[in-house]
Every structure is written in C-alpha cells, then in structure tokens.
Amino acid sequence: MQSSLKFRLALGSLGLSLGLMAQAQAPAPVAAMGKGLFEQPGTNSCMYCHGIDGKGGKIAAAVKLAQPKTWRSFKILGGEAEFNKNKAEFMKRFQQSVEHVLINGAIVHNARFKQPWYDLSKGGGPFNAQMLGMTGAPSSAWLKRMAARGVTREIAATSLWLHMQSFDTQKVFK
C-alpha cells in the first residue's frame, strides 16, 4: 500500500474516532441535570424567581410552575380545548415553545419564535420581560461550566422541561 494512502486512512479513522468521542460526550437530558440548574443559588436563577418547588419565588409575575395550564405558552397554543383535542401534538408544540423561552428569555422569544401554529396575541400579549430563562447570571455561569462536559443549551432546556414535570399538579404531563 502506498504510504500516502496509509496516512490518509489513518487520518480518516482518527477523524472518525474523534467524531464518535464527541458524540459520546454529549449527555442525554435528564431531570436530575435540570434540578441542578434550576436550584442554582443567586439572584436571577430559576429558583430565585419561581421558588424551589415552582411556587413562592421572589418575582410576583412569575407563573406557578406547578400549574402548567396557566403558563402563557399553554394559552397561546389554544389552552384546554386544544390540549384535549390532540394531546400528543399539543405537547410537542408546548415543549418547543417553552424550551425556546427558557433558552432565549422573553424578549428574544417574543421577537424570534415564529411558527405557523404560534400566535402570541392568543396568550394575552407578549411574554413579560422579567422571564429571563437561562439568560439569568447563575444559569449562564452554570452553562459555561457544563459546556466542557458537552452540555448544550438545548440539552439543558430539555432537562429543565423534565425537572419541571415533578411540580405538575394539573396532570398535564401524565
């Protein structure tokens, strides 16, 4: 075999194994990770505004996380009627919208989240700018630290989505 070909094959398999390593590195979203992020100490963590159990936080305008039917995304998507009509489709959209608010915060979400099935005006107006989601300082710092372990904003948002299901008293996630 020509040595340059051997070299190229070796490079190829090195690239492949590095690629596989990078893939193996990204952890799956889990509720425990969401809990860790949610409960970061400090001003403007999730827990600070919403309370450790999703209620009784420092910001009066923050929704009660134990009542997902009161969340603005739930209303925007058509509320109870749409939820009962096609729960599977509703929950897919609900997750997409909620995770987008979590990742971007209210202001960017209001401006950028566009879907044919999403009409902000149906939720009684845009999101309150106080909803910082993961852009709050304690969450940003957590994300920065976790990036080294392959945790992306998307993985973190889905982990939060899973963790918040433990607050649910309205059987939305059942």
- In the complex, the residues that contact ligand HEC under the rule CB under 6 A are 38, 44, 46, 49-50, 59, 61-63, 65, 71-73, 97-98, 101-102, 106, 127-128, 130-134, 136, 139, 160, 164
Angle, to 10 degrees, between the axis of helix 153-164 and the axis of helix 31-38? 90
* Structure token pair of residue 155: 């993985």
Choice between 67 and 150, CB closer to ligand HEC? 67
Shortest CB 52 distance to ligand HEC, Å: 12
Closest-approach residue to ligand HEC (CB):
46
Three-state DSSP at 26 gives coil
Choice between 102 and 155, CB closer to ligand HEC? 102
Choice between 20 and 111, CB closer to ligand HEC? 111
Q: Which residues contact 167 (CB under 8 A, 6 or more apart)?
A: 53, 54, 55, 65, 66
For 59, other C-beta atoms within 10 Å of its C-beta total: 15
